[in-house]
C-alpha cells in the first residue's frame, strides 16, 4: 500500500511545479519599470475583493515589480483613489 501511494503521489506535484514555473510577471512582459499610483485600472485589477494586496505566489509577479506594485497601491490608498477595506 505504502509503496503504491508513494509512486502515484510523486509525479503530480512535480507536474504542478512545472506548470507554476511558466507563469511570467505581467510587468516584466510589458517592459514596465515604474508602476504609477495614478493608474487605478491596473492597481484595482490586483486588489482582491476585500481590497487587499495579494501575495506574490498568487499574482505571479517578480520581486521587483511586486515591491513597486505594493508601493503604488499604498500611495493610491492614501490619496483616496483605492479603498483600504472593501465597501
User: What is the rounded distance in angstroms from the CA atom of residue 76 to the CA atom of residue 2?
Assistant: 53
C-beta of 48 vs 78, nearer to another protein: 78
**Which residues from 39-78 bind another protein, rule CB under 8 A?**
75, 77-78
Query: Nearest distance from residue 78's CB to another protein, in Å?
Result: 7
**Which residues from 2-31 bind another protein, rule CB under 8 A?**
none
Number of amino acids touching another protein (CB under 8 A): 13
Cα-Cα-Cα-Cα dihedral of 13, 25, 55, 11, to 10°?
0
Phi/psi of residue 4, nearest 5 degrees: -70, -40
Query: Nearest distance from residue 21's CB to another protein, in Å?
Result: 29
Exactly one of 20, 23, 38, 52 binds another protein (CB under 8 A); which one? 38
Task: Kindly report the number of other CB atoms within 10 A of residue 27's CB atom.
Answer: 20
Amino acid at each position: 500500500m505504502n509503496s503504491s501511494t508513494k509512486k502515484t503521489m510523486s509525479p503530480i506535484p512535480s507536474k504542478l511545479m512545472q506548470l507554476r514555473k511558466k507563469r511570467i510577471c505581467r510587468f516584466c512582459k510589458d517592459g514596465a519599470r515604474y508602476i504609477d499610483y495614478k493608474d487605478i485600472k491596473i492597481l484595482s485589477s490586483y486588489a482582491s475583493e476585500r481590497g487587499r494586496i495579494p501575495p506574490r505566489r498568487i499574482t505571479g509577479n517578480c520581486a521587483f515589480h511586486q515591491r513597486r506594485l505594493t508601493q503604488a497601491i499604498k500611495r493610491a490608498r492614501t490619496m483616496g483613489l483605492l479603498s483600504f477595506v472593501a465597501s
